[in-house]
Each structure stands twice: as structure tokens, then as C-alpha cells.
């Protein structure tokens, strides 16, 4: 077969969801991977890690056949076993747990290792058919989503392609150079075509911040204060669009009175920024009508993250930036995709009375915390797909203790032997996206994509869909979705959603789900019942823990503040060549990321007598971890950054950064707080 490029879509947990072209060398081998040049969001650009996907898909360490544990948990001793035997054992273990403790003792657990709707979400169909425990998906998006919806009413914003028509782009709490590179393509267009200015708001000088005209290097968890300080100037200096607010917002008068009390000097005190920098940014933002705020997840991963996202989203409603093409802003565009996933997820058979455990609190759940278990039975059996909690979930010490419980039956369906898979009783080998069919929503853009497999599955690998259906058969689970192929599920789901079917969508490569430019900018009203942007959100409608939420945008003072015992605030931002825990197995990524490293202000290094390259111990009440230090002047004193997510084994003592992060559920509806940790820091003794 002659080499050829076939269309695909990137399945990883990245808002860019790039349209790909993959070179097929033969039935089992790929060559180059490149971005589709004719997709007007991807524009031929993809990140370096996916451009060398060959290294991942043809990784010699890939799992190729089912395995059964032979030694003690975590010993790493496994023996090969047939698919039939493996699935029988999993089904038997689930039946035993359900017989003894009720079906809620089984907890299917998953997240977004693949973003494909069929392969990611089919696990819910099995859950609902069997009455197993449900899962609240809090590990990533909850805080940001609640915060954005609070004001606008819907998870969408200005068309990201319209950034090219902006005169000012504010990248707020995101690092797209690392985390969604296509944003930068559109930023570059605005710069080239309109001379647009770029501002980045981030606690440290990321590559994104470095490439910007202005970097506001604030303390973590203080974005609400910055936004309110900016509002003060917008009102005081005549930049507020009163006509727009009168027509499109809920209570501008109250907001104005509220922010009058909160000056740039007040914001400077909280954020650690200079007052004149806050004022200068506010003036620039106020003067520039075509201003586009691209809000990221990063600044929402704090206890006050939802409040901060809401505060930031208020800015374009004050200046009326939404009026102008290229103005307004966006965080994510999920609401464009009105996909009816009833068949994939088995929503028609879901029993809402069954408990839903908070996935970010997996450590507490598995170690028997009554609150985390919501008063129900212990979790005795799990199937994990698309997730690596041993590395990525908060409170690693508890997570590992729980996963190692001898009385917990654990099945992990994985592509490689992750630190989670290594703790399993049964490990099942999973296909990669190039080996199965699926459909993808582009959260960071406007396209829905349907992708067919490019090569044959490696070894004995099976898809998530096949595993779910295989277990359903053995467990007697009933639902039409279990007897459909992945392609049939795609076709049915698209048609149920009023979209072209699978064949047609695949032929056109992507389906544009955008609305008109005006609609994307809420020119016909915001998505709340009253059609207005809400400066005073109805937090009670957004989550049970709403009492602490500020009535109007403010600095919500509920973070893990620095104190004398723990004087440093730690951010655990993503690494450029990893994608969460993925790509920590590819040699090039590992080589370029080098090792877990704490970026520390040079003056803090001096105070602590730490030299570049020294080992340092970072800790709090939960644990301590040892990393190498790097002096870095791109952050405030009192802030440290450790990029990750590295495997536990990459750390000097074999325990990773999430041993320090908290599983506290942030208000109003939960959400993990990965960048909200106060720590102490000290040099590790030489040779220790």
C-alpha cells in the first residue's frame, strides 16, 4: 500500500481538538502527523507532542494483551491472560461486590484521556444499566464552567476565529503556547493584521506571557481582586458603556457602587501587582473596544476559582466590548454542540437516586471517608478507563492507599502501564485513537469531527466500547447501545441531534456548529431567562455550596493563604511536552522536560540559601516532596511553580506533586484546586 494521508482528529484532553492528517505507511504503521491546513481553526498547526505521535502509538512499552496480577498489589508482577478470562474475572468481581454490598459498591471511573464521545462516555451506559455508583466530574472544568455560566448563562463566547479582528487580546489564566497552541495562531493573525496588543495574566512568566506585550504577574488566586480593581477604573474614568449595560445587564448601578469601594490600591495589595500597572491595564482595556478575553482553566483551579472566572467575565459587559466584532471573550464553546448523548450514555435508564461520588475525592472515597461515600457502602470494585488517578488526582497519599487496598478489586483499561494500571488486579490493553472510530466536539473552536480508524489495533488491544459491551454481556446489562458498533452509535447520536449522519459528517471532515457572529457575541441577549448578563449571579442555582459566594464580583478570601508556617503559594501548571499524565511515557517528552523542578524567585533562593540545581523539600500538612530548584525571576517572591504532571516515580522520593494538593471541594459545586496550595520550602541536606 502506498503511503497516504488520512483525516483524523486529536482525541486528547485539549480544547484545540485539532483536525489532523495522518500518514499511513501500512495497515499497522503511521508516519507523519500534521494539522489540516484547510480547517480554518487548526490552520495546519499542531503541537509538537502530537506531531511525533509515532513515538506514542508505536511505543514498545504499549500494553498488548490482558494481564492478571500475580504478586502483591503494586508489585508489578502480572501474567498474560485471555480476553475471555479477563472479562469473566472482572464481571465476577463486580457481581460479588454488588451481591454483598449492593450495586453502588461498584464505581466505574473515567475521565478524558480520550475526548471521543463514544469511547469516553460509554462507561456511563454500563453504570446506569447496572445501578453502579455515579461520578461527579469535578477534576477539570467544574469551577471554570460555573463561573462562566454565572454571568453569561451559557458555555460559549465570541467565535475564536474572530480573534483576528481584535485590537487587544487578554489571555487570562491560560498558557496556550503549551496547552492549546492554536490560540496563538489566531493571536498572531490579530497582531499581524491589526497590530493587536496582547496581555497575559498569569502568576509566572510562561512562554505565552513572554510572547505578550504586557504580563501581569499576580499572586495565584487573586484574579477577582484584579478584575474588580480594573472595574473601578472603568467606571471612574468613563470607560463604562452605560447604554450597553442598561440594555444588556442586570444591575449596573449596584455594581458601580460596589466597585467604588475597591480601588486599584486595594487590588494591588491583594494581587501583589503595582497599582499603576493595574490602572494602565484598565485604561488600555477601557480604550480598546475590540478587546477579546480568552479565559483559561488555570485561574479557576482555586477555592475561589468560580468567583474569579465570573469576575473576569464581567469586564466586556461593562465596556460593551461584546458589541464589536472581535470583542467580548470566550472560555469554552461546549454549548454550541447540542449533542443528544442518550444512547451513548444510557441516560434513558439512569436512576438519579443513585449516589454520585466526587471523582476528585477518590482518595477519601477509597479510604472509607463517610462524607465522601455519601453515607453509602464502601467502594469494593472499580473499572478505570481514560484516567490515571495515581498521578493526577489530589491527595496522592490517600489515593495510593486506597488503590492498594487488598479488598478493592481494580480493573484498569489502559494503553500503557501507568502508575494506576500497575496497581490493578486486571489490566486490559486499549486501542489508541488511530485504531478506533469516534466523534469529537471542539471546545476551543466550533467544529464537530467524526474520525475513522487509520490503522489496525496494536496487539490484542480493544476499544473502550468493546470492553463495555463485553462486560455488559457478562453482567446481563440491557440497553440498545450495547449491541451497536461505534460507527452506529456515532450515526445514531448525530441523527438524534439533528445533524448529518456519520458517513456524511466524515466525508465533509468537520461540521461547523457556530452561530452567527452576533449570536456568538450575545447581541440578541445573554442566555439567562431575562436575556441579561448577571453581575449579581444566582449562585444558588449553580451549586449547593453557594452561601459563601460573593453577591457581586469580589475577592473571595477562602484560599489556602500563605502564612508563617507555609509562606509560599504553589502553582502546579501543565508541562508543555506532557498532556496531563500522557506523554510522560514518550522518550522525547521526558528528555525535554528534564525533571520535576520548582521555579523559585532568586531572592527567595538567596533567603533560603538555595542554589540553582539544589534539591529542595516542599511540603504542607499532607506530605512533602523533593524536587530540584531553579532560580527564576518571572514570578513574585512567595510564589513557586512546579510544572507537571510527572509520574510519582520521577520524584526523588517516589511521591509526586499531588501529594500536596488538596481534595477540598471548592464552592459552589465542587472542583479540584490544583493551583491553590500554601507550602513551606527548605533546602534538602546535601546528599540527602
Ligand X SMILES: Nc1nc2c(c(=O)[nH]1)N[C@H]1C(S)=C(S)[C@@H](COP(=O)(O)OP(=O)(O)OC[C@H]3O[C@@H](n4cnc5c(=O)[nH]c(N)nc54)[C@H](O)[C@@H]3O)O[C@H]1N2
Which residues 131-190 are close enough to bind Mo ion by CB under 5 A?
140
The one segment of 14-22, 392-400, 566-574, 647-655 that binds ligand SF4 by CB under 6 A: 14-22
The one segment of 89-97, 147-155, 410-418, 501-509 that binds ligand X by CB under 6 A: 410-418
3-class DSSP assignment, residue 106: strand
From candidates 8, 18, 168, 294, binder to ligand SF4 by CB under 6 A: 18
From candidates 7, 8, 10, 103, binder to ligand SF4 by CB under 6 A: 10
Q: What is the β-pairing status of strands 29-35 and 19-26?
A: antiparallel
Min dist CB 438 to Mo ion, Å, is 18
DSSP 349-406: G--TTS-EEEGGGHHHHHTT-TTTTTTSPPP-EEEEES--HHHHSS-HHHHHHHHT-T
x-marked contacts with ligand SF4 along 170-209 as a string, rule CB under 6 A: ----------xx----------------------------
CA–CA separation, 614 and 630 (whole Å):
8
Q: What is the β-pairing status of strands 291-295 and 438-441?
A: unpaired
The answer to whether the CB of 250 falls within 8 A of the CB of 551 is: no
CA–CA separation, 548 and 305 (whole Å):
13
Min dist CB 686 to ligand X, Å, is 28
From candidates 19, 50, 170, 174, binder to ligand X by CB under 6 A: 174
Joined together, the cell numbers standing for residue 26 give 501500512
Name the closest residue to Mo ion (Cβ): 140
By the rule CB under 5 A, 663 interacts with Mo ion = no
Which residues 578-617 are close enough to bind Mo ion by CB under 5 A?
none
Q: Who's near 215: CB < 8 A, 6+ residues apart?
A: 199, 200, 202, 205, 209
By the rule CB under 6 A, 14 interacts with ligand SF4 = yes
Residue 181 CA: distances (Å) to CA of 128, 645, 683: 37, 18, 36
- With 0-12 CB in 10 A as exposed, 13-18 as middle and 19+ as buried, what is 207? middle
What secondary structure letter does DSSP report for 548?
T
From candidates 7, 229, 296, 647, binder to ligand X by CB under 6 A: 296
User: What is the size of the binding site for ligand SF4 (CB under 6 A)?
Assistant: 12
By the rule CB under 6 A, 379 interacts with ligand SF4 = no
From candidates 17, 387, 586, 662, binder to ligand SF4 by CB under 6 A: 17
From candidates 42, 263, 291, 302, binder to ligand X by CB under 6 A: 302
Q: Which does 132 bind (CB under 5 to 8 A by kind): Mo ion, ligand SF4, ligand X, none?
A: none
**CA dihedral sign, ordered 478, 484, 485, 487:** negative
Joined together, the cell numbers standing for residue 380 give 469494593
Size of the chain in residues? 688
3-class DSSP assignment, residue 429: strand
- Radius of gyration for the chain, computed over Cα atoms and rounded to the nearest angstrom: 25
Min dist CB 413 to ligand X, Å, is 4
Q: Which does 46 bind (CB under 5 to 8 A by kind): ligand X, ligand SF4, Mo ion, none?
A: ligand SF4
Min dist CB 404 to ligand SF4, Å, is 32
By the rule CB under 6 A, 645 interacts with ligand X = yes
The one segment of 127-135, 257-265, 411-419, 621-629 that binds ligand X by CB under 6 A: 411-419
Q: Which is nearer to Mo ion, 140 or 317 (CB)?
A: 140
Q: Which is nearer to ligand SF4, 180 or 367 (CB)?
A: 180
From candidates 41, 239, 487, 578, binder to ligand X by CB under 6 A: 578
Residue 638 CA: distances (Å) to CA of 80, 567, 635: 50, 6, 9
Min dist CB 42 to ligand SF4, Å, is 7
Residue 372 CA: distances (Å) to CA of 265, 319, 382: 41, 43, 16
- With 0-12 CB in 10 A as exposed, 13-18 as middle and 19+ as buried, what is 525? middle
By the rule CB under 6 A, 618 interacts with ligand X = no
Q: What is the dihedral of CA 486, 492, 495, 500, to 10 degrees?
A: 30
Which residues 212-271 are close enough to bind ligand X by CB under 6 A?
220-221, 223
The answer to whether the CB of 174 falls within 8 A of the CB of 335 is: no
Q: Which is nearer to Mo ion, 144 or 640 (CB)?
A: 144
Min dist CB 222 to ligand X, Å, is 7
From candidates 8, 166, 291, 580, binder to ligand X by CB under 6 A: 580
x-marked contacts with ligand X along 383-402 as a string, rule CB under 6 A: --xxxx---x----------
Instruction: Spell out the SS3 assignment of 615-676.
Output: EEEEECCCCEEEEEEEECCCECCCEEEECECCCHHHCCCCCCHHHCCCCCCCCCCCCCCCCC
Min dist CB 55 to ligand SF4, Å, is 14
CB atoms near residue 132 (< 10 Å): 28
Q: Which is nearer to ligand SF4, 18 or 673 (CB)?
A: 18
Q: Which is nearer to ligand X, 162 or 202 (CB)?
A: 202
CA–CA separation, 224 and 308 (whole Å):
4
By the rule CB under 6 A, 8 interacts with ligand X = no
The answer to whether the CB of 494 falls within 8 A of the CB of 111 is: no
Which residues 499-528 are close enough to bind ligand SF4 by CB under 6 A?
none
Q: Who's near 216: CB < 8 A, 6+ residues apart?
A: 199, 200, 201, 202, 226, 273, 277, 278, 281
By the rule CB under 6 A, 12 interacts with ligand SF4 = yes
Task: Return the exposure string of 601-616: e unless at least 16 CB atoms fall within 10 Å of the residue's CB, then b.
Answer: beebbeeeebeeebbb
Min dist CB 361 to ligand SF4, Å, is 28
Min dist CB 391 to Mo ion, Å, is 13
CB atoms near residue 102 (< 10 Å): 16
Q: Which does 18 bind (CB under 5 to 8 A by kind): ligand SF4, ligand X, Mo ion, none?
A: ligand SF4
Which residues 35-74 are close enough to bind ligand SF4 by CB under 6 A?
46-47, 50
Of the candidates 69, 298, 62, the residue with the CA atom closest to the CA atom of residue 173? 298
The answer to whether the CB of 316 falls within 8 A of the CB of 285 is: no
Min dist CB 179 to ligand SF4, Å, is 8
User: What is the size of the binding site for ligand X (CB under 6 A)?
Assistant: 60
Which residues 551-590 are close enough to bind ligand SF4 by CB under 6 A?
579
Q: Which is nearer to ligand SF4, 20 or 143 (CB)?
A: 20
Binding site for ligand X (CB under 6 A): 13-14, 111-114, 119, 139-140, 172-175, 178-180, 201-204, 206, 220-221, 223, 296-299, 301-302, 385-388, 392, 413-416, 418, 430, 464, 571-576, 578-582, 644-645, 657-658, 661, 674-675
Binding site for ligand SF4 (CB under 6 A): 10, 12, 14, 16-18, 46-47, 50, 180-181, 579
Amino acid at each position: 500500500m502506498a503511503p497516504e494521508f488520512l483525516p483524523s482528529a486529536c482525541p486528547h484532553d485539549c480544547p484545540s481538538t485539532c483536525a489532523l492528517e495522518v500518514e499511513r505507511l501500512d495497515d499497522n504503521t503511521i508516519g507523519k502527523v500534521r494539522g489540516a491546513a484547510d480547517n480554518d481553526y487548526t490552520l495546519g498547526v499542531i503541537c509538537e507532542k502530537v506531531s511525533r505521535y509515532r513515538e506514542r502509538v508505536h511505543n514498545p512499552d504499549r500494553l498488548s494483551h490482558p494481564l492478571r496480577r500475580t504478586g502483591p498489589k503494586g508489585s508489578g508482577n502480572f501474567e498474560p491472560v485471555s480476553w475471555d478470562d479477563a472479562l469473566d474475572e472482572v464481571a465476577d468481581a463486580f457481581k460479588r461486590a454488588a451481591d454483598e454490598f449492593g450495586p453502588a459498591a461498584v464505581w466505574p471511573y473515567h475521565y478524558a484521556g480520550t475526548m471521543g464521545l463514544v469511547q469516553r462516555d460509554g462507561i456511563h451506559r454500563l453504570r446506569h444499566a447496572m445501578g453502579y455508583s455515579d461520578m461527579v466530574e469535578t477534576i477539570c472544568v467544574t469551577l471554570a464552567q460555573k463561573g462562566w455560566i454565572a454571568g453569561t448563562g451559557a458555555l460559549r463566547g465570541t467565535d475564536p476565529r474572530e480573534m483576528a479582528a481584535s485590537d487587544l487580546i487578554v489571555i487570562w489564566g491560560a498558557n496556550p503556547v503549551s496547552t492549546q497552541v492554536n490560540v496563538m495562531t489566531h493571536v498572531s493573525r490579530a497582531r499581524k493584521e491589526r497590530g493587536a496588543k496582547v496581555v497575559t495574566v498569569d502568576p509566572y512568566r510562561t512562554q505565552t506571557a513572554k510572547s505578550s506585550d504586557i504580563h501581569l504577574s499576580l499572586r495565584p488566586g487573586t484574579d477577582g481582586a484584579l478584575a474588580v480593581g480594573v472595574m473601578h477604573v472603568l467606571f471612574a474614568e468613563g470607560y463604562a458603556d452605560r447604554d450597553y449595560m442598561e440594555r444588556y445587564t442586570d444591575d449596573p448601578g449596584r455594581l458601580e457602587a460596589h466597585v467604588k469601594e475597591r480601588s486599584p490600591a486595594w487590588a494591588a495589595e491583594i494581587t501583589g501587582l503595582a497599582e499603576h500597572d493595574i490602572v494602565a491595564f484598565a485604561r488600555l482595556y477601557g480604550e480598546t473596544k475590540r478587546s477579546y478575553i480568552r479565559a483559561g482553566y488555570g485561574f479557576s483551579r482555586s477555592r475561589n476559582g468560580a468567583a474569579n472566572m465570573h469576575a473576569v467575565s464581567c469586564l466586556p459587559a461593562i465596556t460593551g466590548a461584546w458589541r464589536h466584532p472581535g470583542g467580548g471573550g470566550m472560555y469554552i464553546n461546549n454549548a454550541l454542540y447540542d449533542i443528544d448523548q442518550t444512547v451513548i450514555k444510557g441516560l434513558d435508564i439512569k436512576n438519579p437516586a443513585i449516589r454520585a461520588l466526587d471523582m476528585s475525592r477518590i482518595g477519601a472515597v477509597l479510604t472509607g471517608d463517610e462524607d465522601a461515600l455519601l453515607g453509602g457502602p464502601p467502594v469494593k470494585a472499580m473499572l478505570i478507563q481514560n484516567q490515571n488517578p495515581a498521578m493526577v488526582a489530589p491527595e496522592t497519599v490517600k489515593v495510593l492507599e486506597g488503590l492498594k487496598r487488598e479488598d478493592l478489586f481494580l480493573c484498569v483499561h489502559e494503553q500503557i502501564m501507568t502508575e494506576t494500571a500497575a496497581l490493578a488486579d486486571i489490566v486490559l490493553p486499549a486501542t489508541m485513537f488511530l485504531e478506533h472510530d469516534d466523534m469529537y466536539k471542539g471546545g476551543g473552536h466550533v467544529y464537530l469531527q467524526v474520525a475513522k480508524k487509520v490503522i489496525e489495533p496494536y496487539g490484542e488491544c480493544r476499544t473502550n466500547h468493546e470492553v463495555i459491551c463485553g462486560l455488559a454481556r457478562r453482567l446481563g446489562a440491557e440497553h440498545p447501545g450495547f449491541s451497536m458498533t461505534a460507527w452506529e452509535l456515532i450515526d445514531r447520536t448525530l441523527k438524534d441531534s439533528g445533524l448529518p449522519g456519520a458517513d456524511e459528517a466524515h466525508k465533509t471532515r468537520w461540521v461547523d456548529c457556530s452561530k452567527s457572529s452576533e449570536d456568538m457575541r450575545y447581541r440578541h441577549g445573554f442566555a439567562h431567562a431575562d436575556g441579561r448578563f448577571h453581575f449579581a449571579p444566582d449562585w444558588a442555582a449553580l451549586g449547593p455550596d453557594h452561601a459563601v459566594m460573593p453577591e457581586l464580583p469580589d475577592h473571595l478570601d477562602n484560599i489556602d493563604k500563605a502564612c508563617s508556617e507555609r509562606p509560599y503559594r504553589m502553582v502546579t501548571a501543565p508541562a508543555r511536552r506532557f498532556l496531563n499524565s500522557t506523554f510522560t511515557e514518550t522518550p522525547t517528552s521526558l528528555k525535554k522536560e528534564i525533571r520535576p523542578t520548582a521555579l523559585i524567585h532568586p531572592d527567595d533562593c538567596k533567603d533560603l540559601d538555595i542554589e540553582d540545581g539544589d534539591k529542595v523539600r516542599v511540603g504542607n500538612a499532607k506530605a512533602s516532596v523533593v524536587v530540584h530548584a531553579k532560580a527564576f525571576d518571572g514570578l513574585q517572591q512567595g510564589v513557586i511553580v512546579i510544572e507537571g504532571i510527572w509520574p510519582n516515580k520521577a520524584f526523588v522520593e517516589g511521591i509526586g506533586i499531588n501529594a500536596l494538593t488538596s481534595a477540598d471541594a471548592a464552592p459552589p459545586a465542587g472542583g479540584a484546586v490544583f493551583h491553590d496550595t500554601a507550602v513551606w520550602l527548605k533546602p534538602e541536606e546535601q546528599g540527602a
